[in-house]
Amino acid sequence: MAPYDTPPLDEVLPEADGLPVDLLDLAERRVPRYTSYPTAPHFQSAFPAETHGAWLAALPADAHLSLYLHVPFCRQLCWYCGCATQAVNTRAPIAEYVEDLEREIALVAAALGSKRQVVRIHWGGGTPLSLEPEDLSRLDRSLRAAFDVLPGAEVAVEIDPRRLDKGRFEALLLMGVNRVSLGVQDLDPDVQKLIGREQPFEVVAAAVAGLRAVGLKSISFDLIYGLPGQTVATIHRTAAQALSLNPERIAIFGYAHVPWARGNQALIDATLLPGPSERWRLAHTAERTILAGGYLPVGLDHFAAPHDSLAWAAQHGRLRRGFQGFTDDPSEVVVGIGASSISTLPHGYAQNAAQVPPWREAIRAGRLPSARGRALTAEDRFRRHIIERLMCGFSVDLEAAAVEHGQALDTLAAALVEVDRLVARGVAVRDGWTVGVSKGRELLVRVIAAAFDTYLKPDAPGHASAV
Q: Give the C-alpha separation, 35 to 388, whole Å.
A: 8
Is pLDDT larger for residue 14 or for residue 216?
216
Percentage of the chain lying above the pLDDT 70 cut: 96
Distances (CA, A) of 461 to 119, 246, 428: 36, 38, 25
In CATH terms, 377-465 corresponds, of 3.20.20.140, 1.10.1060.10, 1.10.10.920, 3.40.50.970, to: 1.10.10.920
Q: Which amino acid is at 29?
A: R
Instruction: Please spell the DSSP secondary structure of 10-74, one letter per residue.
Output: HHHS-TT-S--GGGHHHHH-EE---SSSS-GGGSEES--HHHHHHHHHTS-TT--EEEEEEE-EE
Predicted TM-score of the model (pTM): 0.93
* pLDDT on residue 262: 83
* pLDDT on residue 153: 96
Taking the CA atoms of residue 89, residue 93, residue 95 and residue 101 in that order, the dihedral angle to the nearest 10 degrees is -130
Q: Give the C-alpha separation, 420 to 429, whole Å.
A: 8
* pLDDT on residue 13: 63
Is the model's pLDDT at 197 over the cut of 50? yes
Q: Give the C-alpha separation, 389 to 214, whole Å.
A: 37
Class of the CATH-defined domain 40-337: alpha beta
pLDDT range class, residue 58, cuts 50, 70, 90: very high
Is the model's pLDDT at 1 over the cut of 50? no
What are the residue boundaries of the structural domains of the chain, listed by start? 40-337, 377-465
* pLDDT on residue 21: 85
Q: What is the pLDDT of residues 438-450, one digit of tens each?
A: 999 999 999 999 9
Q: What is the pLDDT of residues 24-57, one digit of tens each?
A: 999 999 999 999 999 999 999 989 999 999 999 9
Is the model's pLDDT at 3 over the cut of 70? no
